Amino acid sequence: MMRHTTHVIFSMLFITAIAEFIPSFTEFIPYSYALTISMFSTLLPDIDHPHSYISKSYWGVFSGAILKTTHHRGWTHSLVGAGIFSFIFAILLLIFGSSPIYSIVFFLGYVAHLISDSLNPTGVNWLWPKNGNFRINLVKTGSEGEVLLQKVFLLLFVGLLFYDSMWNNGGLING
């Protein structure tokens, strides 16, 4: 299980890159909303692990029920899990009178988690229930390599914000 900080930093980088290079993205979803939603949804796949950051929070109430249906990196670490949780989020948005378009960002944040988990030796079964994990085997979870990867992601994130402020008139920050 990659550290929650790795997932959050990568999600920030992922959403910022999408918002920066697909300008129409922020026409429908304000950047600050996108960043916030993705930082939450990127933690959600680890609700299938009893010792994860999200399971130790008040969301842990749901963790027990989910643990009865899967093991760590089971269906919650797949496109099926991303779709299920994004659909639930869209329904909640509608119930509370908000636009379901924000569920797109939720899905992207969730997928950011799957991408970052694919960088370690365990990998992710993206196409669950079909067997087969995809892995790049770049870093071992909890290693110095993961800490270095966090720093690289953070530098790229800050670099994108710098690029945005210098050559895009601060479009992301200024809305």
Dihedral angle of Cα 20, 26, 31, 34, to the nearest 10 degrees: -110
The whole-number pLDDT of residue 47 equals 80
Average pLDDT over the chain, rounded to an integer:
88
pLDDT above 60 for 163: yes
Q: How far apart are CA 20 and CA 164, in angstroms?
A: 7
Query: Which ranges constitute the DSSP H helices of 22-143?
Result: 25-28, 31-41, 60-67, 79-95, 102-117
> pTM score > 0.85 for this model?
yes
- Six-digit token string for 164: 């945005």
Q: How many residues does the chain have?
A: 175
Domain boundaries, the chain: 4-8+33-165
Give 78-130 pLDDT, tens digit per residue.
999 999 999 999 999 999 999 999 999 999 999 999 999 999 998 899 998 89
Q: Does the pLDDT at position 58 exceed 70?
A: no
